Amino acid sequence: MTNTYKSGFVAILGRPNVGKSTFLNQVMGQKIAIMSDKPQTTRNKIMGIYTTENEQIIFIDTPGIHKPHNALGDFMVQAAYSTLRECDVVLFMVAADEPRSTGEDRIIERLKKAEIPVILVINKIDKVHPDQLFEKVTDYTSQMEFAEVVPISALQGNNTETLLNTITDKLVEGPHYFPDDQITDHPERFLVSEMIREKILQLTREEVPHSIAVVTESMKRDEFDKIHIRATIFVERKSQKGIILGKGGAMIKKVGQLARRDIELMLGDKVYLETWVKVKENWRDKRLDLSDFGYVKEEG
C-alpha cells in the first residue's frame, strides 16, 4: 500500500460524436458537459474534476476535431489541440462502430509528436461484436504505439472503472489542485448557457443548432430563494429567430421548460428562466462576437 497522492490533467481528444462528453458525465456522476446527436456540440474546453482520497484527475473535454469552415470552427480545433501542451495523459477516443477516417489519421499524426502517454479508448463497444472490436484494436495499434488500449461503453458505464485505474497508473505524485467539492472549472453562468443550448440542439435541426450562441446575462436570487435567470439566445438570421420562437412561442417555451429542469437539478433551487432571442448576423465568423460569447483564442 502507498499513501502517495496522485494528480494530473487528462485531455480527451477525438472526432465529433465519439462520446467524449458522455464519458465525462459518466465519470463525474452528473452532467457538466452537454450532449446531443449533433456534431460539434462541445465548443469550449470543459474541465471535469474527479477527486478521491488517493487522486485528483482533471479531465479536459475538448471540442470534436473536424475540418473547420468558419472562425468558430478554427477556435474549436485550436482549443482541442492546445490541451496537448497542458496535460499529463491523453485519451484518444474513437467509436467502435465507425471505421477509421482521415480525421482520425490527422489526429494520430499530431499524437505521435506528443511526449506524454496516449491511451486509445475505443468507445461504444456495446454496438459491435467482439470480433469487430478485435479488428478495431488491430487497425489502430498498427498506426502508432499507444501506452494502453481500453475498450469502454461510456453510455452504459462498462469498463470505465478500468480506464480510471489505467489513467491513475500513468499519473505521478502531485498536488491537490482543486477543493474536494469542486467538479468543474466553469462558473454556473456558463453551465446554465450550455444547458439552454443543449435543449435547442435537441429540438432543432439542419443549420439552426450550429448558428446558436447563448449568453446568461444575469442570475439573481430573490427573497423567496428562487433564482431568476435572464439569458439571450443569439442566431445568425431572422428566419432562425422564427424557428427558435416557434408558432405562438411554442418552441422557446419548450426549450425553457426542459432547460429549467436541468438547471434546477444543478443548482438545487427553484428557477425562473427568462429567455430572449436576438439576431447577430454571421457571428461565427466575427472575432469580436466570438470573444463576446466566450470563444477566445488561446496564445501559442
Indicate the domain borders of the chain. 6-173, 188-292
Residue 235 zone, left/alpha/beta (φ > 0; ψ -120 to 50; rest): beta
How much is the pLDDT for 222?
83
pLDDT for 205-250, tens place per residue? 776 767 888 999 998 988 777 999 999 999 999 999 999 999 999 9
**Of residues 133, 69, 48, 145, the one with CA closest to residue 98:** 133
How far, rounded to the nearest angstrom, does the alpha carbon of residue 17 sit from its chain's CA centroid?
Answer: 10
pTM: 0.68
pLDDT for 245-285, tens place per residue? 999 999 999 999 999 998 988 888 899 999 999 999 988 88
Segment 49-55 mean pLDDT = 93
pLDDT for 90-103, tens place per residue? 999 999 999 999 88
pLDDT grade, residue 300 (50/70/90)?
very low
CATH number for 6-173 (one of 3.40.50.1100, 3.40.50.620, 3.40.50.300, 1.10.150.20): it is 3.40.50.300
CB 34 within 8 A of CB 200: no
Mean pLDDT over the full length of the chain: 85
How much is the pLDDT for 71?
64
pLDDT for 5-16, tens place per residue? 999 999 898 888
Q: What is the CA radius of gyration of the chain?
A: 20
Angstrom distances, CA of residue 82 to CA of 109, 144, 261, 300: 15, 21, 34, 8
CA angle 24, 259, 160 (to 5 degrees): 15
How much is the pLDDT for 285?
84
d(CA 275, CA 196): 9
pLDDT at 299 over 50: no
pLDDT for 32-45, tens place per residue? 765 555 544 555 56
How much is the pLDDT for 124?
96
Q: What is the CATH number of domain 188-292?
A: 3.30.300.20
pLDDT for 167-203, tens place per residue? 999 999 999 998 888 888 777 888 899 889 889 988 9
Q: Which residues of 9-27 are buried (b: 16+ CB within 10 A; e: fewer)?
A: bbbbbbbbbbbbbbbbbbb
How much is the pLDDT for 233?
94
**Of residues 154, 80, 148, the one with CA closest to residue 118:** 148
pLDDT grade, residue 297 (50/70/90)?
low
